[in-house]
Amino acid sequence: MSHPDLMKWPPELSEAQLQALTLLATTYALSHGLNYLPVADVQPPAPTSAIHAPLALFPSPFPRNLFSLARRLQRAYNVLYARVALDEEFLDNVMGEEKGVGKVDQFTGQLWRRWKRLRDEGLTQDLHLGLFRSDYLMHAPRPEEPVTLKQVEFNTISSSFGSLSQKAAELHEYLYASTGYYGTSPVLKKENFPQNRTIAGLAEGLAEAHKAYNVPDARILFVVQGGERNVFDQRWLEYELLEKYSIHVVRQTMTQLLESAQVHPDNRTLHVTLPQGLLPDGANSVEISTVYLRAGYTPIDYPTSAHYDLRYLLESSRAIQCPSIQLQLAGGKKVQEVLTRPGVLESFLCDPGRWGAEVFTPEEVDEIRGSWMGMWGLNEDVPTGSAHDPRETSGVHKARESASNLVLKPQREGGGNNIYKDAIPSFLDNLPPEEREAWIAMELIAAPQGLENYLVRAGGGTDSTVKTEVVSELGIFGWALFGGPEKKIKEKEVGWLVRTKGKDSNEGGVAAGFSVLDSLILID
């Protein structure tokens, strides 16, 4: 980061300026829905209070060319993961219970078995909706080299914080309009604040699926986790759907749906029962056009086999799934690793015989490959620097050799699941050989050093602001509606997210308590 105005970020504030800025930020957040529900043993049915989400006082600097690259890549990633989801043989080999990760990872296997059963019985709905987020870090391994863009992961289920990311960007625009950030940096000027309209973009994807279902009075089902504190992020999408498209939303947990969800045996329509008196004309159920999962990405959401069977029931209906099981499997870390192997990416993006005229240029494919760090499977045969114990695969041996520069990832979403650096050797010592296939090794991204920010913890108010060295992660949102007899893909890039964390924190989840919500200030 050689920009002269960023040798020290953020700009220095006096104590009076810091107090004033924090007060403005936290008040604005509470006034504009940049909120969480407070921590509680049991969340009340109707919220009685809210706290502001964790936030950064300054937007984080990000090279304009890399921001443009991330947005440009999203279209290719939308198409790539849609096509991966449509390739049943590929997913069976990589994620299935007979040949892939599902053999050793119970959660993956449970999902795959339901998908296999659906295929054997004949899928009812062949359209899929994905609300995606591709996450990146700046990579700066050496001070003299240009900063590059590297992908952390690609999310195909419950890609959260789209709504609150827009609110965070609006917060920083407000702080600039209100205070000019006290003239502390020439970088902080209006043209360097990129617009973020993620709420409208994600709602548009859901509305496109609803339109394709073609039953105007049907509703969209939000499947949510019990005790969810991040409800406002979800509610903003609900409000946008109602106000812009006149589409109503039903919110229920998977446990509630065990009792309320029914699939009509003749026409395979999905209906959800609501309490008596909530619908006109004495009706007690609504037809569902689209199932939007903000739950179902972690084994915790499936406490019994009945919950897995509920997932099968939802997918056996005519309702469009967001995501379908196969699209959720496509987002697996093992898929991410397999895509880096020679020729695999090209088979999905450059083969007109498979995908018709919609192919990508070699330059576009090179840009995607250029966004990847090195990665491999622990059960794979990979080149290593030395001979290894015959009881270990070369993939495990290489992970031991390179542990100080690695992260190990399982097939999980939601933060808090990865193994980093010094913890890797002892973890490998205790990892049963049969479970190696469920893990991948990925080279760590070397984020730029020396950038700081003022972080305000959730609900902490004016006394909780801490200045610390940070790392910022950029997420680009997109949606894709795809499938049907011709496997057509309609897709769009629709917005962005920034999560900032202390540099010593390995994990990046906001809901898990590791990060704060942030936005960008673009630099040239």
Annotated catalytic sites, by residue?
133, 153, 155, 160, 333, 409, 413-414, 499
CA-based torsion, 61, 63, 69, 72: positive or negative: positive
3-state helix, strand, coil in the chain (%, to 5): 40, 25, 35
- Residue 514 and residue 416: Cα distance in Å, rounded? 9
- Residue 153 and residue 185: Cα distance in Å, rounded? 33
Fill in the amino acid letter for 395: G
Query: Residue 72 in 3-state DSSP?
Result: helix
- Binding-site residue numbers are 133, 153, 155, 157-160, 228-230, 234, 294-297, 333, 409-418, 420, 442-445, 473, 499, 501, 507, 510-511
Q: Which residue has the tokens 């019990």?
A: 226
- Binding-site residue numbers for ATP are 153, 333, 409-418, 420, 442-445, 473, 501, 507
Q: Are 199 and 163 in contact (CB under 8 A)?
A: yes
- Residue 175 and residue 42: Cα distance in Å, rounded? 35
Q: Give the C-alpha distances (Å, rounded to integers) separating 295 from 78, 142, 154, 159, 301.
A: 21, 40, 17, 10, 7
- Residue 410 and residue 429: Cα distance in Å, rounded? 16
- Binding-site residue numbers for Mg(2+) are 153, 155, 413
- Residue 47 and residue 37: Cα distance in Å, rounded? 7
Alpha helices (H) in 32-146, listed in sequence order: 64-86, 88-95, 106-121
- Binding-site residue numbers for substrate are 133, 157-160, 228-230, 234, 294-297, 499, 510-511
